[in-house]
Amino acid sequence: MAAKKIQLISWNVNGIRAATKKGMVDWLKKTSPEIIGLQEVRAWPQDMPDEVTSLPKLHQHYTEPERKGYSGVGLISKRKPDSVETSLGEGRFDSEGRIQIARFGKLVVANGYFPNGNGKNRDNSRIPYKLDWYRALFDKVQRLRKGGYRVLVIGDFNTAHREIDLARPKANAKTSGFCPEERAEIDRWVEAGWVDTFRAFEEGPDHYSWWSQRFGVREKNIGWRLDYVMASPSAMKFVKNGFILKDVKGSDHCPVGVDLDPGIYG
């Protein structure tokens, strides 16, 4: 008999109300992940769809931004977290509602909607903010890792790490999401020992998690791999597989995730 495994999934839903209308709840009931982290929820608690909030036997936690209809993250889990932290220690980060750091025994799941580097005029003016946010989270999860926790950092990282991670790297060399300084920040995580779980199991090209909503782009698979599950070395020992669910619709992103040995809880 195959060893039992549990599934952790990350999905930028591009608006939980829109995703619900496109079948997200039915998919969630059918898939039944152990933990799912949602990004770009874009709804305050009072605006959450009833179909989501009434899901039985699941624990839900949402972090909303100060600005309505913007950003936001959510965590839905079968097991109740021991604690959930929503601060990176600076108001300029916390006001955007981009992080949840949930502890389940020895497992810590940091669910993040990493900033986009584009400014209002698509001028890359938010890249410094984006990199500061990355570094603030890095410092926090490094402390947790050194404290003996098994840490998984999940979410929309808004960066394609290598040329293999987007369909048209040369055309996007100066586009936020593939600028050298953004890619170098993911290099820094990897050099510090964090494992890109998908690439630990799949080295080949043409695997993406986001596509422009322009007609035909997704069908032609002209995409970017922007969504990750990054594992600390101690967590990686419990990771059995990394995957991208490219056929799941409902957002311009698709879900990504890992299969885990349930022993990761400790």
- What is each CA distance from 35 to 102, 162, 179, 232, in whole angstroms? 11, 28, 32, 18
Q: Are 98 and 104 in contact (CB under 8 A)?
A: no
What is the reported pLDDT for 107?
A: 98
Percent of the chain with pLDDT over 70: 99
Query: Choosing from 50, 156, 196, 206, which is the catalytic residue?
Result: 156
Let me know: does 39 contact 155? Beta carbons within 8 Å: yes
What are the structural domains, with CATH classification, of the chain?
6-257 (3.60.10.10)
Residue 156 designated active-site: yes
pLDDT number for residue 1: 41
The segments of the chain whose pLDDT lies below 50 read: 1
State the pLDDT at residue 83.
Answer: 98
Per-residue pLDDT of 121-180, as tens digits, reads 889 999 999 999 999 999 999 999 999 999 999 999 999 999 999 999 999 999 999 999
